[in-house]
Chain A
Amino acid sequence: MKTKRQPAGIPSSEITPKSLYLSRRDWLKMAGIVSASSLLAACGVNPNDPDEIGTGTPAPDVPNTFDEITHYNNYYEFSTDKQAVSTLAENFKSTPWAVEVGGLVHKPRTYAFEDLLKFEQVERIYRLRCVEAWSMVIPWNGFELNQLLAEVEPMSSARYVTFTTLMDTEQFPGQKSPFYPWPYTEGLRLDEAMHRLTLIATGLYGEVLPNPNGAPLRLAVPWKYGFKSIKAIVKIELTEVQPPTLWSTIAPNEYGFYANVNPEVDHPRWSQRTERRIGETGRRDTLMFNGYGDEVAGLYAGMDLGINY
């Protein structure tokens, strides 16, 4: 692995025990009352380690507000303007919804959205690092994708998982733009998709997933740049070959298939060394694998992450 600097002391995961999980209102209350350090158990960055803290931001990870998370969205199917999305998404019809799961699986099937709720539902507070060098901390609700994949029984030849967003130019005006290879597609290697941190999010702050965030279901892969976490999924397909993805098709020199958060791998436009946490004025240093290295670095053992960016 080609990383000059491995940030030390990052908790292995961002999994929040159910007992710790609080409703949105309680979160807000908690943020005010409980000292920041006690949140670290849930959220994960050691404020005392100078290696991990960016210039002028000694603060730990605190979940962003519901308002912030739902009013600053990269969702090009609606608009390229992050602040226009919430309004444009207001009338998005996310019910009824079905997800077709197929490809190299023994038991292909189409799930109604409600069927997916039978999988064990969890709450996860994940950092989300956008490739545009901003970040948030988001309390998702959802289920581990591996449960769904196990149920459809991948064939031994399956090596990748492809995800596809709904194609609907009526609901998604952005899909009329000829400058993008719609519909949005994304992909993971099967072992990445099976990883326990890989979440299918169906909720936010204990509420039904809001439209601007990819209702009714989206991916949440916290160690990768945000564009990997595809929204409004209608199709999950297992394949033998690495699938093309929307952004890596548009600009292969900028967006790789892996798109792991990596401060050492440069992007032609945005420096990936630092990031602005929404709600903060200074910049934070960006962490390798977005701080989830202990959990996921093993997936990439022996790989040159400078080439496989």
Chain B
Amino acid sequence: MMKKKTFPWLRILVHLFGVLPLARLGIDALAGGLSINPIQEIEQRLGRAALYFLIASLAVTPLTTLSGWRALAPRRRALGLYAFLYASLHFTVFAAIDYGFDLVEIGRLVVEKPFILLGLSTGLLLLPLAITSFDLFMRKMGKRWKKLHRLVYLAGVAVIFHYALAKKGDLFALQGDILKPILWGVLLLCLFILRIPAVRRGVSAWRQKLTGFPVSRKQTGRESPPEAGRAEDPARQDGG
């Protein structure tokens, strides 16, 4: 796949964004911009980066539906893999630096703290998606690959609750420092709604009426059977 790189700049852009959080961490570490509690700052920044990329990867299909611009689709895998990269780094800093590999304490946290369990679950959900993100697995697993990669929806939900419960306040009582998690949650919900087959078809029809153009299929560069039988199949997720 990717023989024809119709939009190399899009690919470059994704990778530029992909390394941006790491570059910023590096620059701030050198310039002393990591606050007086640097471990927490690094940990939280990595976590936020993972969240951003996970949501971005989940936004690709809905954005394609909305815009009809299918060049976005092949960028999903990189976005998903960046999400996994930052989630892994986030966990590594938590376990290795914050808690100094104190496995007993970490184990107790996982058992006792719902938000820690949710964070760990998100990571564990992303792990098989990252492993099977290669073309080889995609080909070999066929339909099972799509099924497996639907786990990314669960990961999306888990990460929102991980984030919301890590904030001071009460999400369910709408009290405290919960505005940002709620906004991310609403965004994710919108993205999910756009995947509902009926909504998706409706939006496509509406867009085509508006622009006069159907989804351009020539620019996708992959997935030879374009959303035929299961046009609404939302599960074409790479890497998570």
Contacts and interface: CB of A to CB of B under 8 A. Distances in A.
Interface of A: 55-56, 67-68, 71-72, 76, 80, 82-83, 132, 134, 177, 179-181, 249-251, 253-254, 266, 268-271, 273-274, 276, 278-279, 281-283
B100 A283 contact: yes
B115 A269 contact: yes
6 contacts: A82-B35, A179-B174, A250-B170, A254-B170, A270-B113, A283-B98
Contact-residue size bin, chain B (C-beta under 8 Å from the other chain): 20 to 34
A271 B36 contact: no
Given A72-B35, A251-B170, A179 B105 contact: no
A180 B173 CA distance: 11
Interface in B168-221: 168-170, 173-179
Given A56-B100, A180-B175, A271 B109 contact: yes
B102 interface: yes
A178 to B, nearest CB: 9
Nearest to A76: B177
Interface string B87-128: 000000000011110100100110011110000000000000
A250 B40 contact: no
- Most chain B CB atoms below 10 A, which of A67, A76, A251: A251
Nearest to B115: A269
A180 B168 CA distance: 11
B165 interface: yes
Contacts of A273: 105
Interface of A is mostly: loop
Interface in B35-55: 35-37, 39-40
B83 to A, nearest CB: 24
Interface string B16-28: 0000000000000
Contacts of A181: 175
Contacts of A134: 37, 40
Interface of B: 35-37, 39-40, 97-100, 102, 105, 108-109, 112-115, 165-166, 168-170, 173-179
Contacts of B98: 276, 283
Given A71-B36, A271-B112, A282 B175 contact: no
A21 to B, nearest CB: 24
Contact of A180 (B35, B114, B165, B176): B176
A61 B119 CA distance: 33
Contacts of A282: 100
B175 A250 contact: yes
Contacts of B114: 268
A282 B98 CA distance: 7
A55 B104 CA distance: 12
A247 B3 CA distance: 57
Given A56-B100, A269-B165, A282-B100, A179 B113 contact: no
- By Cβ-Cβ distance, the 6 closest A-B pairs, closest first, are A250-B175, A251-B170, A68-B36, A80-B177, A250-B176, A72-B36
